[in-house]
């Protein structure tokens, strides 16, 4: 528990807040990380890169030219300047500003969803201020966005006394409901193939593409249902936005691959956009992407047959995350799932490690999670996995140290009578040894730095036992070795007339310190990992040595612990016997390294 608490404290400094302490250890077993794209793999800072309007594709450099002309426009006199901007572009910019929930916050910072912020900023740059337009065209009703229909609609009073509704959202959703498109030559029949062609062209560059459309009404409709309102739309244009991948995301994904962890990207974006971003980050190399609609059509059994090979999900609703988690778990995978919305909560709760976003996450998502990312960064998840592996490794090292040391003591006390030897230690000496050796050195092992190959090995099985992978053999063999060397020391010093009980007592205490140093790495030698790389452990070993020497050499303590001061020869023999376990473990490591 102390080790987990130390780990949780360290993770907070790395922007990972642990809500449930066992989650620290659990992270070391993760085999799949299912991550949202926006804000986790990307920066969540949208900028408009391209616009398709009036049958033309405008890029960012062309916006800048138009912006210079638009700066000459007066904020309340847009319609009189069609020599600068075409009227289809004017209508599109008005829609961007009016059908928008972003707003100016303190110190002029725009606050809101990144997609809406990007639209707001571009419209404002082109002199279409939302605040000014709302005075002229006030919003009188709205149908909020939802993940099922993937649309949002707002209603505004218009100059001619009519009502205009603006609808924006996913291209597929807009196209299914559109009947015409705006051009400089007038309203034309909607060509869905042409729109999909433009959408694919923009999405291939990794842009998130949304469509914006309008509809005119004589009066606010009595039936405000989406089915009645969002139909017979006139398309104003398409807007392509770039959410750049985080620079550290590509390295983190590569680190996951070397660690045997598969990264899965889940997004609401178009499949082509998802594919482009996934390739850029290094999640996939081929073109395999599955959409939310395809996921719905798959039976669970069919989905489970291919779920381990799917790396990118697009146009996915939050509710479908639960299906992904269940399918992976049914294949005995250990799943970490990220989420930020209310609808993500069931998947976060079901995942082996639920990870909520600290910046954009809702309170419901955070309550359902095991861990909160304070910076919403995918690389933080990978750092947490690395820390989880280190903590679990250190827990195992403590177990090996404690059980091996105690096994040695048990062998000494158990075998001595059978060998005709007197009781090796007194009860007070055993109590002192346990108090001294099971506290500070054991805690110091939790500070052991991670081994160099910690992210170059596959995740440990979540049901792996403590005594598997040779750990049980290690405890028995080296525990027996510690006991046998202590008994040999007792027999030799007893016959030689030395202070045999003090020497056995001291050799077992210092032998435990040797074991603590020996278990710091499974395969690497103590010299290679650095004797002083774990300063708390070195401090604990030195303190233990000093305290044991006080028991041996201070007369007042000699009376209490029934010890005798040791001569130089006796001390050297004791130290030599104590080092036997360390030397034996280092020889075994050398043998294992040569076997590879």
- Domains of the chain (ranges, CATH numbers): 16-43+245-376 (3.40.50.1000), 47-242 (3.40.1110.10), 389-595 (1.20.1110.10)
Query: How large is the average pLDDT for residues 335-349?
Result: 93
Query: How large is the average pLDDT for residues 267-284?
Result: 91
Which band of pLDDT confidence, cut at 50, 70 and 90, is reported for residue 67?
A: low
Phi, psi at 262, each rounded to 5°: -95, 130
Distance CA 292, CA 405 (A): 56
Which band of pLDDT confidence, cut at 50, 70 and 90, is reported for residue 339?
A: very high
Query: How large is the average pLDDT for residues 389-413?
Result: 93
Phi, psi at 356, each rounded to 5°: -100, 155
Count of Cβ atoms closer than 10 Å to residue 22 Cβ: 12
Count of Cβ atoms closer than 10 Å to residue 60 Cβ: 14
Which band of pLDDT confidence, cut at 50, 70 and 90, is reported for residue 81?
A: very low
Distance CA 403, CA 437 (A): 12
Q: pLDDT tens digits, residue range 370-383?
A: 999 999 999 999 99
Distance CA 584, CA 369 (A): 45
Which band of pLDDT confidence, cut at 50, 70 and 90, is reported for residue 596?
A: low
Residue 36 appears among annotated catalytic residues: yes
**What distance, in Å, lies between the first and last C-alpha atoms of the chain?**
35
Which band of pLDDT confidence, cut at 50, 70 and 90, is reported for residue 70?
A: low
DSSP assignments along 274-322, one per residue: HHHHHHHHTS-SS---EEHHHHHHS-HHHHHHHGGG--EEES--TTHHH
Instruction: Give, as one character, the DSSP assignment of residue 31.
Output: -
Q: Say if CB 284 and CB 278 are below 8 A apart.
A: yes
Distance CA 464, CA 52 (A): 56
Comparing 68 with 547, which gets the higher pLDDT? Answer: 547
Selected catalytic residue, list 36, 91, 243, 370: 36
Which band of pLDDT confidence, cut at 50, 70 and 90, is reported for residue 73?
A: very low
Query: How large is the average pLDDT for residues 509-513?
Result: 95
Comparing 64 with 30, which gets the higher pLDDT? Answer: 30
Q: pLDDT tens digits, residue range 405-456?
A: 999 999 999 999 999 999 999 999 999 999 999 888 988 998 899 988 899 9
Query: How large is the average pLDDT for residues 67-93?
Result: 63
Whether the pLDDT of residue 74 is over 50: the answer is no
Residue-level pLDDT at 384: 92
Q: pLDDT tens digits, residue range 406-418?
A: 999 999 999 999 9
User: Could you tell me if residue 512 is left (phi over 0), alpha (psi between -120 and 50 degrees) or otherwise beta?
Assistant: alpha
Rounded to two decimals, the pTM is: 0.83
Residue-level pLDDT at 257: 94
Query: How large is the average pLDDT for residues 194-211?
Result: 93
Residue-level pLDDT at 83: 47
Residue-level pLDDT at 68: 64
Give the containing element (helix H, strand E) for 509: helix 500-518
Which band of pLDDT confidence, cut at 50, 70 and 90, is reported for residue 2?
A: confident
Distance CA 457, CA 48 (A): 42
Distance CA 346, CA 369 (A): 10
Find how far residue 313's CA is from the centre of its chain: 18
């Amino acid at each position: 528990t102390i080790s987990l608490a130390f780990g949780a404290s360290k993770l907070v400094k790395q922007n990972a807040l642990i809500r449930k302490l066992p989650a620290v250890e659990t992270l070391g077993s993760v085999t799949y990380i299912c991550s949202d794209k926006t804000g986790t793999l990307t920066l969540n800072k949208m900028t408009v890169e391209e616009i398709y309007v009036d049958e033309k594709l405008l890029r960012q450099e062309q916006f800048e030219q138009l912006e210079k002309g638009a700066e000459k426009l007066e904020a309340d006199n847009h319609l009189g300047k069609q020599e600068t901007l075409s009227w289809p572009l004017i209508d599109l910019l008005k829609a961007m500003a009016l059908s928008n929930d972003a707003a100016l916050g303190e110190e002029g910072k725009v606050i809101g969803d990144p997609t809406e912020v990007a639209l707001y900023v571009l419209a404002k740059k082109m002199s279409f201020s939302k605040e000014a337009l709302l005075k002229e065209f006030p919003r009188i009703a709205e149908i909020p966005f939802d993940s099922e229909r993937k649309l949002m609609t707002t209603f505004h009073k218009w100059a001619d006394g009519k009502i205009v509704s603006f609808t924006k959202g996913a291209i597929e959703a807009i196209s299914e409901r559109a009947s015409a498109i705006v051009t400089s030559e007038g309203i034309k029949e909607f060509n869905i193939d042409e729109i999909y062609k433009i959408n694919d062209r923009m999405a291939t560059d990794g842009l998130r593409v949304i469509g914006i459309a309008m509809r005119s009404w004589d009066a606010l409709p009595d039936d405000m249902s989406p089915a009645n309102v969002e139909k017979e739309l006139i398309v104003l244009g398409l807007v392509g936005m770039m959410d750049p991948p985080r620079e550290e995301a590509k390295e983190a994904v590569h680190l996951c691959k070397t660690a045997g962890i598969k990264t899965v990207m889940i997004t609401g974006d178009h499949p082509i956009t998802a594919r482009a971003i996934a390739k850029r980050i290094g999640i996939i190399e081929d073109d395999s992407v599955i959409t939310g609609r395809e996921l719905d059509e798959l039976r669970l059994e069919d989905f489970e047959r291919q779920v381990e090979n799917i790396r990118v999900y697009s146009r996915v609703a939050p509710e479908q995350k639960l299906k992904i988690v269940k399918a992976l778990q049914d294949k005995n995978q250990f799943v970490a799932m990220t989420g930020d919305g209310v609808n993500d909560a069931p998947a976060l709760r079901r995942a082996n490690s639920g990870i909520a976003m600290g910046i954009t996450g809702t309170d419901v998502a955070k309550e359902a999670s095991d861990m909160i990312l304070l910076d919403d960064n995918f690389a933080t998840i990978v750092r947490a996995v690395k820390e989880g592996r280190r903590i679990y490794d250190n827990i195992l090292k403590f177990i090996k140290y404690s059980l091996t040391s105690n096994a040695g003591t048990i062998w000494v006390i158990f075998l001595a009578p059978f060998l005709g030897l007197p009781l090796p230690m007194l009860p007070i000496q055993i109590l002192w040894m346990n108090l001294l050796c099971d506290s500070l050195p054991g805690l110091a092992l939790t500070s052991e730095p991670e081994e160099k190959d910690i992210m170059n090995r596959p995740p440990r099985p979540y049901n792996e036992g403590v005594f598997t992978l040779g750990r049980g053999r290690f405890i028995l063999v080296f525990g027996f070795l510690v006991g046998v060397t202590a008994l040999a020391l007792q027999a030799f010093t007893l016959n030689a007339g030395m202070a045999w009980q003090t020497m056995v007592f001291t050799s077992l205490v210092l032998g435990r310190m040797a074991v603590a140093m020996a278990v710091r790495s499974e395969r690497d030698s103590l010299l290679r990992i650095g004797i002083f790389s774990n300063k708390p452990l070195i401090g604990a070993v030195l303190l233990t040595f000093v305290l044991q020497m006080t028991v041996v050499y201070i007369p007042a303590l000699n009376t209490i612990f029934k010890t005798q001061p040791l001569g130089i020869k006796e001390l050297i023999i004791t130290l030599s016997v104590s080092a036997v376990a360390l030397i034996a473990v280092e020889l075994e490591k050398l043998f294992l390294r040569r076997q590879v």
